[in-house]
Amino acid sequence: MAIHFHEEDLPDGVTFADGPIAVDTEAMGLMPGRDRLCLVQLSDGGPDEHLVRFGPQSDYAAPNLKALLGDPNRLKLYHFGRFDVAIMRAYLGIMAAPLYCTRTASRLVRTYTDRHGLKELVKEMLGHDISKQQQTSDWGAPEINDAQRDYAASDVRFLHRLKAKLDERLEREQRVDLAKACFDFLPHRALLDLAGWAEQDIFAHA
């Protein structure tokens, strides 16, 4: 297993296996526009993860990364894709879809719990413990340390395996079509967030 760290874009020649690609992001906070995108993490389900870091003066050009994430024939795997899709739209100008969100799938099939974080999901479904100690660290720092890099990589390391487990449960509970409809809507939910409706349910009566 290796973690590859890149500045501003994926280098030419970096390739990923066919099939879904796991994606995550780290930012200065949770409000796109106020809080800048600092890191994009990628995994094709193999032994390596790739991290792309953007500096405070970045123009977010990143043509290789954008080509990969904007590929309409490549499924992107997220955990809480609503945020990742929105912040990449805000800074990279792409819609990184079609997508599958493990947190959304978890909410549809793990209705016996309200614990849908990645740490809890990986522990229950895959039997691995992952650390969230670096979750609130400074992702805009001049240097991203080894602990931060390992944490960031772990956010995409398990998503392919989680998808396989969650798909089994979606099938068992007859919620595959419902899940797909939710995944198809998530890019629109991200656009609503960016347009100012992050805290409002526009479908609500009141």
> Is 52 part of any domain?
yes
> Is 7 part of any domain?
yes
Number of domains composing the chain: 1
194: exposed, middle or buried (Cβ count in 10 Å: 0-12, 13-18, 19+) = middle
CA 114, 191, 49, 102 dihedral sign is positive
Confirm if 70 and 58 have CB atoms less than 8 A apart: no
> Is 203 part of any domain?
no
Task: List pLDDT tens digits, range 55-93.
Answer: 999 999 999 999 999 999 999 999 999 999 999 999 999
* More confident of the two residues 162 and 205: 162
CATH of the domain at 36: 3.30.420.10
Q: What is the pLDDT of residue 67?
A: 98
37: exposed, middle or buried (Cβ count in 10 Å: 0-12, 13-18, 19+) = buried
> Is 137 part of any domain?
yes
- Can you tell me the distance from the alpha carbon of 7 to that of 44, in angstroms, rounded to the nearest whole number? 19
> Is 204 part of any domain?
no
Percent over 90 (pLDDT), the chain: 88
Task: List pLDDT tens digits, range 187-205.
Answer: 999 999 999 999 888 999 8
> Is 147 part of any domain?
yes
> Is 202 part of any domain?
no
- 26 beta partners: 39
Q: What is the pLDDT of residue 130?
A: 83
Is the entire prediction scored with pTM above 0.75? yes
CA 11, 187, 128, 132 dihedral sign is positive
> Is 192 part of any domain?
yes
Confirm if 38 and 58 have CB atoms less than 8 A apart: no
- Can you tell me the distance from the alpha carbon of 199 to that of 206, in angstroms, rounded to the nearest whole number? 14
Domain that holds residue 31: 2-197
